[in-house]
């Protein structure tokens, strides 16, 4: 129970902490917007858990998996939208960008919070497991907070050395990793055919190790990725970077012609 609770926090709570850290480093997310997005996420999570049986009946019994996949797609697209705003260098009202960040956090909390509610609801009344569950909760929160603090100062240091774009790139790695992980949901409902792993790096870094969980949250590490996961991951990372590079090359050439 203790280990399971800690793993639950690493798998489902740590992504929320990481997203908060990156968005705060990118947009200076203040306490009001952070609190608002977390509260909205909890409300959405409660609504999701209360209606999960109804959602499961949609799309021939695949409603839950499709909804969770759609949430990850929206979060990824909002990451690209933030990058678009940085690329255009337009004067955008801070409230507009902060509302985008709040939506990303709320959706992440809603997607991950449901797992917490179902987990704790199943074990809360079992007194012999209560102590281990509470201890695991404290350990899990402590680990997530510690990683978030280190990650925050690291991202600030990188931003000072490399500029704002490095923070957005870290955010892109995170949301792309979460999107790629969600492909397993489509495999479960046979929208994507399962395939043998392209490689196996379990001996180097196992998915079930602490480092494996951390790398999975930060950039979607998989010890045994399928070909579909590799294609989606590389496309989701490289295509925005190619567009950004093309845009800056175009801007440079236009500036040169103007001179």
Question: What Cα–Cα distance (Å) separates residue 10 from each residue in 39, 53, 78?
Answer: 21, 26, 24
Residue with the larger pLDDT of the pair 227 and 117? 227
Beta strands in 53-177 (DSSP E): none
Q: Give pLDDT tens digits for 165-199.
A: 899 999 999 999 999 999 989 988 888 887 778 88
pLDDT at 38: 92
Helix (H) or strand (E) holding 133, with range, is helix 127-162
Contacts of residue 33, Cβ cutoff 8 Å, sequence gap at least 6:
98, 99, 101, 102
As a whole-number percent, the residues of the chain with pLDDT over 90 amount to 42
- Pair 47, 55: CB distance under 8 Å: no
Which long-range contacts does 116-122 make (Cβ < 8 Å, 24+ apart)?
A: 116/8, 116/12, 116/13, 116/45, 117/45, 117/46, 117/49, 118/49, 119/5, 119/8
Q: Give pLDDT tens digits for 59-101.
A: 888 898 999 999 999 999 999 999 888 877 666 677 888 999 9
* Mean pLDDT, range 113-132, rounded to an integer: 71
Residue with the larger pLDDT of the pair 239 and 2? 239
pLDDT at 248: 79
């Amino acid at each position: 129970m203790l280990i399971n609770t800690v793993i639950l926090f690493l798998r489902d709570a740590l992504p929320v902490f990481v997203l908060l850290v990156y968005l705060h480093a990118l947009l200076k997310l203040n306490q009001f917007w952070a609190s608002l997005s977390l509260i909205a996420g909890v409300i959405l999570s409660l609504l999701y858990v209360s209606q999960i049986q109804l959602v499961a009946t949609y799309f021939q019994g695949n409603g839950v998996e499709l909804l969770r996949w759609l949430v990850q797609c929206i979060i990824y697209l909002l990451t690209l939208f933030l990058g678009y705003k940085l690329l255009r260098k337009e004067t955008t009202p801070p409230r507009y960008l902060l509302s985008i960040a709040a939506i990303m956090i709320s959706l992440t909390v809603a997607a991950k919070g449901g797992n917490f509610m179902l987990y704790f609801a199943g074990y809360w009344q079992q007194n012999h497991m209560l102590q281990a569950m509470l201890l695991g909760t404290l350990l899990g929160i402590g680990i997530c907070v510690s990683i978030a603090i280190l990650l925050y100062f690291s991202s600030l240091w990188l931003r000072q050395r490399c500029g704002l774009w490095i923070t957005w790139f870290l955010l892109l790695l995170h949301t792309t990793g979460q999107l790629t992980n969600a492909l397993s949901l489509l495999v479960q409902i046979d929208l994507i055919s399962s395939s043998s792993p392209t490689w196996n790096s379990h001996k180097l870094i196992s998915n079930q190790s602490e480092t494996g969980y951390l790398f999975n949250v930060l950039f979607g590490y998989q010890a045994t990725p399928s070909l579909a996961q590799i294609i989606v991951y590389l496309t989701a990372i490289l295509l925005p970077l190619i567009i950004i590079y093309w845009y800056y090359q175009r801007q440079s050439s236009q500036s040169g012609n103007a001179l």
